[in-house]
Chain A
Amino acid sequence: MTCAAAHSLLEPYLDGELDAAQQAQVAEHLATCGACAGMHAQLLELRAGIRQHAPYYRAPTGLQDRVRAAVRHAEGNSAGPWRWIAIAAALLLSVSAAWTVAMFRSRAAGDRIAQDVLSSHVRSLMGAHLLDVPSSDRHTVKPWFNGKLDFSPDVRDFAAQGFPLIGGRIDYVGGRPVAALVYQRRQHIIDVFTWPSAAAGGEPEGTYNGYHVLHWDFAGMAWWAVSDLNTGELRQFETLYSTPSGFSGRE
């Protein structure tokens, strides 16, 4: 084996990633070549140094309880979390969100998508996860979804009409990953969820505890918008969205 060949295999050798035959060839070369053996020794020394001097941070006491409580709460099993009085304050917000969702459930049982959309919106506002790609540039937001979804959402910006795009994220609605596009109207956040779908039906409009949900089908896609914005303006937003992009005036 030449030094050049051994050199390129040195790190995979060190990491145990070579097959037995290659591993043996490199070992053989190291036994006879001082220069390569020196490099190998340096790498070993670095590894030992990292393991000895760079701290492995173990989870602090209490984190496991905190994570478990959050997970159980999110999953709707509320038997556990109440024991942790220390996190009661943090839970207040979640409780009101859960109540909103629970109220909504009782009013519109069966409309699972509207329920998912509303839960997702409320959860995102709780600070859990509003944006994966914070950008007002639709040419940044649209490509971000490539490879993450099996479709490419129609991302449009309506800044000129007073509904600026602020970003997007992947969310999970109706048992599938969907694109969530996030817009802002003054202090109100509008989440728009979209995925390919034949006309799905469902109530086109609903109001649940101050949140308005609108639903329309356009260009082979299901669209759901949810916000605490008033219905009038939310409808105006829907009109913008269900107009072919060539007519939106900002292409």
Chain B
Amino acid sequence: MTGTPTSHREAVARLAHDVGKYVGRIARNVDGEVPPALAPLLLKDVYETHDGRPALARLAALAPALGPYAEHPCLLAARDALQRAARLEPAARALDPAALRALLDLAREVESQLRALARAVHDEGAP
């Protein structure tokens, strides 16, 4: 989505949508080895997440609007997982099985942390 979020809560909702949801799309449906047919979709989920740009870039773009949630433990954990995924990119794009397996775990971690963040914000009733 384009535009600037008007509240911290909206920014978190957008982060959960633009990053968390899409990053975990294939990862949550695959256990163990990544089938060859699904590998391109997994790479797209992590490295072309939003407008063809990586999830990490989208997170960075939304960070200023997150206010106090920019330092939330869930967000920090998600950012860390995305940074590790970024380092894996060359091997993953070369379809290295170990890299793809690691990418699955990281994508699931990002999705889970961002969902937890969105739920926490929703429960708190943040502005």
**Do the two chains bind?**
no
